[in-house]
Structure 1
């Protein structure tokens, strides 16, 4: 022991008391860079594995994990630091990559795909093995081994053949090579090595070495191994709390209690889902019975109607037989009625005949008496005259009504012959002058029409210009634009490459006062169409045979020519223009600058004197002694845009519309005058068409009738005898008229009844014959049910005893029956569709491959519905509700208790660990370290537990179904928080992991029990201090986990540390190593070169890892204290 170790502490009796197991050797066969057999001896106290990066330190330490740990424990190799994911995933070091000796990844030259570069097993099978031999104080040895066979086709760890072995004693793995080809057959291997046991499961395998090596005595060996794995991994932690909860404490019992509750709650949910499913199925299938009843009834109705044969056009049918039977009954009734009515008519005829004879005699006697009275002849003449005047009166009224209608517009007031004569004279005068008046009216109308021609023509021109301008830029004359478009279409040249000069220049706003002068001087040039000179001959050739819509001037332009340098002259026409950017602009600028074009702009007529072309703002031009002035009558065409011109056109159109509206009013007035003359002519013609006023004078005729009636009445008032005779005669004539009408009526009825009788007899004979024939053939039968149905339906459309309406009624019945059958079939189809919709809904929700959505499967669906209803959904719901209450008590109560128990377990575990720590001097001042725990109070955790306790006491007995469902939904929401697949693992762990509900700190006390320091955050301390603190806390916890808290030293001593103490300096490294050794552990430390010097003084054995250029690793033992170079390689090229 070194001086420094002496200054730390020493545990008396470290070699006495219990038996302790230490790892003696590690054997490797074909593991990582170690090809063939390699044996690594370890010091019983401490061994340092060092070497350059990638030489194999982690490979050796991962071999320990591969042998001792479950496959769920990830390897600790540095090569895995860059990857994350599940344990031993394809992206990390794996058994397969170690056994084949994976070096790198390269691209296959043959396939071009990426492939592993390996030391062995590339094109053949290989094998490998790892063995740890342990030795105790009595020199007894015990070996734990893993054997592997790697087929050539192996692509993942699951493709390997793996054997787990324990050997009572030591073994040389090379002796097992002969069994590799047979994949380490159990019988062969155990026969050769009687002290070797093969285990089928990791559980049996681990339990064997747990028991033998004393791992977890009085505790859980699996927990101890998991802690060893975490210690070996050496994960960085930032606080004492993280260190203790992550490395010392196991998963609390709340998880198991929650999983048990979730399992049983899952059964409840399954039952609830099943019950809800049955209810949903019953709800979906509920209408099928009613729908099927409707379907069957409607189909039966359709079959009944179809059975009548109403659609049979020829041949007998039940409906035809029913029709004949009904008609026969009606004919019998009609015959009986006919004979009764015939007898009554005959009696009426005889009675009327007797009355006629008697009344005729009386009339003859009265007429004889009157013939002897002289005044009677006068009365008779007056009666004839009054009758004739009555006829004249009706004719006069009709003619007067027509006359008034035809002459209404003349407003005639005719009170007598004089007025009528004046009206006829006026009519004659009007008709004589009509032609002259009509001619004058027509001439006035024509003159008005002539006045409108000019504005109408102008309107057409403006509208045409508006349409033309609306589809293009510029304000060029529409006629010239139309010719341009014709040329463009015929030549295939884009219209933009055939611009007019006026479209390439514009008058800016500040020069609008010179617009008239510019339009005047450039009138002809602005209307010239420009053509690319290179295409001029082509254009000429194409247009020569064409009949253009007008004449157009054009000029070829050299587009390559540049504008001549010039100074802009504001007093010239060219200086007052803007130029559009185009291929033709240079030519336009040069052309406008020519002397014969570029007029000088002068302020008034006096400025026109002088040389060259000059122009005033009003458009008067002069060149020397030649001048011109006046309007051209053409619109302006110069400008890039036509907005201004379109506005002018719109304004002009508005003014023209006002003018035309005035013309339309004048024209309408003239037409009305002409029409009035024509109508007056017709009316006057009707006046002249009446020959005499009496023909249209009903008032005069009425006066004549009244006069004759007064004379007649006067004569009768003076002769009582005459008056009585005439009254008696009138009475007899009335009675005789009645008797005659009765006689002839009765006679006509008898004739009519006789004719009807003949028809009835003929019809009945035909009907009876047809019925007899059908009955004799027995081809058609009519059931009572059919007869009753047809009688009922017939009564709905006709009167049952109406023979005359029978045929019409039968037609209506046929239509009704056809419609009824079609309606029944439609309702049956609708019911079928309803059923199949239900079936599709059912299949969508609960697909059953044995069922379809066809109506043919109705019996199966009905059987399902009956089965659900028979089982009794209500009873099932009651049973489920009872189970819900039982579950909340049986599962949530234990879960609620598990939280308290888990905290108690953590607190209980602190006692033995603190007992161990109390015997270990800590730090330079040899203080004592103690772990202290504080339970955290968090609102959401408190709320979670409160809800858990409330739900654990839940009793749904007596609740309504809606309240039960609400309670169940509340439970489901709560259980989601602790489901692994619920709201996320973080939620589950947050609530269930009670390790997160506490805070652990380490407190250092001096010999008098005074608190010297509290350790909470590790991250703020130096690497050495942190390693020392970790060593004390974790080492003490490991002693407890191994079940040795009451022993002087642990039964199982090996502790592997991968890159341990990498941040510690020499002093702290020594104290950390001494802490582990003082706790009785055997240390195997993997460390990089830069920590070699701080660790080497504390190691009793130093092993140097080296790797050859070809990737083969080897282990070399060196003497402690020997200086090693910064980098080591080996000349070993692998096995020969």
Structure 2
């Protein structure tokens, strides 16, 4: 490739000194990239390069090579300038470039359109971009090497930074068999750095070349397709402004909030623990008080005997003293009464002697007979009264004649026999009723026990099973709730209750089975083996897995379901489907037609031959149900049964009382019959006895009338006898009283002597006072005979009090155990050292005490401190960043506007970017929430717990949404945190007086040229904003690529757009399809023509360098490279040194020729006399 002379003159302007410190592109090398087969080396002048050529020649392929190195893969869009709609050209990929895709063809066999590749087998490719800085001198080469195996659909690659110049062709020869990093490192030595991925590679070259970040990379890549930009807001927001720090602040806040959430959870957890355990304190007091009451009642009961002994001794002493005094007093009275009786008896004897002397011998005999007859009459009258009493019971009167008496005797005998038979019948019935009463008492006692057990265990299972489980629970140290019976967690499907009898007939045995989790199997098995359970227990080891069987819709399994919330739901579903595939049928006729089934009445068919019906239990009675009966239902059933039995007990008692009354009446009649039958007619014949007395009295009267003075003597004798009887009775009475008092004195003395020799137990005075009150409340001064009855009453009362206290203790213990069980289930770790047993009540109370004294206050302090720090720091800083975003953008946009002031947008007019705040309602709400959260932290000392909780809930809601991955929350998060959305940009065109003459928010309504001009100015402003550090006149990274950016503008618009880029200090790499060449070449240091053969298989480069000291230095290394590869020629660029058209010759050409003439001048340099390249 030779050097061709150019007719253009040399005239390069002096490079500004500030650009010497810029990193500018100096060299592009590609190897096997698209249709550029082999090695191509393109020097790039520091003042820029114009890349031109026919459409489809490969210009965009070169630009895509730059993008492949400078743009992250996630933002990379090949052939960007051709995509006005903003979509990616999916046909262009790194792999398509490495393999050399160049056309689409139709397969002859299938007719399918496929891509044709220049390098379909194993191949390699490479890109090298060399950047230089003049002051201080610095050269850096960015390399990407690719290797694709034959048939592979992806390329292996490596990214390298090399200090200084590096020929690409040296390295591609080392990756013929694949990317060998070790060999490359050995070849390049210390001046090369290798990277594991693109992100670290990009971070390294951004630091070296002065790129601010990934946003700058995206903006530079977007600039390449400048003509497709339409929205000013989109351009400046997405490609000028960096991702705001609010996102990282929010992420930090969310991450740190986890600690606050944990602290809050700890507070809530501690509060919940305190709330659950708090009732233990009053329950503990109740238990303690009940135990004290029981202890007091027990002590009082034990002290009753001692108190009674003391009370009895006191009463005995009092009785002894009274008896001693009475004996002393009565002794004299008895002697006096005896003397009075002797005097009265002597008087009677004297009068009797005197009367005998007067009466003679006959009268005394008659009188003696009369006295005897009177005695007989009195005896008959007594006997008759007794008979009348007995006959009164029988409802009749004594007979008046002997015949009537004989008939009465026969009646009495018959009735006595009848009554004896009836009494025997009543006695038998009474025994039966008494048995019923005792059985009812036993049943009621069992029901009360069952009710207490249901209340304490909250289970409706049989008591013997609950006792067995309790034994196992104590032995294993596990709460009973982790060992459920199937019946406790299984229920009947709603609407299927009519099949209850069938369900119970088939599944009641399964319902009585205890379930054992796999983790507890060994412990339970050991406990069952060692302990005596007192009943038959069946348990199942619950193993995971098992496949559910398919059963018919009318299967019994379809009528059962697990209780909601049980941990065994899935296992139970599988098990009931496996066990209970019995078909539910109405009657025995339907049962004959199924393999396994059950009738509504409860007859079970388990195979073709085996049938069973168990009527030992009435399955219609809810008391015998085992499935789906909770504790409240069973307790209600027990209460109903208790009420029923109590009604029956009242009936039995009434019947027993009735039998007792009737028996008593019959016994009275029987006894009356028997007693009346004992009398004879002679014993009750009052008439005959009265006649004898009357006769003797008449005879005595006749004899007395015949004896003078006898009447007077009789009168005196009768009075003397009365006086004697009175004296005798008084003597006898006093003597009896004396003997009684002597007996009492003797008895009390002996009793006191006996008590004196016995050991008297000590009696606490407090207990004595209590017992004294109890005894006095019943009998203020009980006698010796009453002491026993009062003591029995007091003992009964103490027993009742002890039982009442015991019930209170049991109820409180049951409630306390229930609380301890709940605590252990909800906080296994906290309850690891304690058990849900009464013995561990004090340990649970200590946990409660520690919670109140230390844990809860400590958690609340930590929560309060974290809430304050996160509210004032994270939330306050986040809110501040959001509020300051607009002012920060305005501050940063100032230097951009100053730079735009240096270039006219149109004659006499300049463009200015103005920033306005775009406050969304959702952002205002978000900031209001942040203000509420952070403001509360200022008043922490006065903040109540409820206020802190409310502030935390608001903070939790905000943090939850910020951390959420739901699309709605992500949208909300982006709207709140992306402060780029909080601003809008307007390009204002102002005249020399600063008056706004036009406003631009986008490209709408503009012509194609106006749109491109606006976009170019705004892009330049955005690049200036992104790439230039504050205070620097020019950016540290200078390269800007524009692909067909001015295809719709005229010369003036194009020149103004390029002037603004030049004014901002950018190095331009311009690509255009043979248009506006002269205007474009004024802003570059050289031009390259890209051509391709007729089939589009081989792209070539020709280069014109405009003579310029700076550019010549940068391009001096360009030369042809000999072919070293089999798959195609390796070529550099054909180089032509031309007179810079920006000198006097250009001016003359411009003055004498048209724009098309000027384009032809440059094109002629790149072609020969015949028009060939």
- Shorter chain as denominator, the TM-score bin is 0.3 to 0.5
TM-score normalised by L of structure 2: 0.45
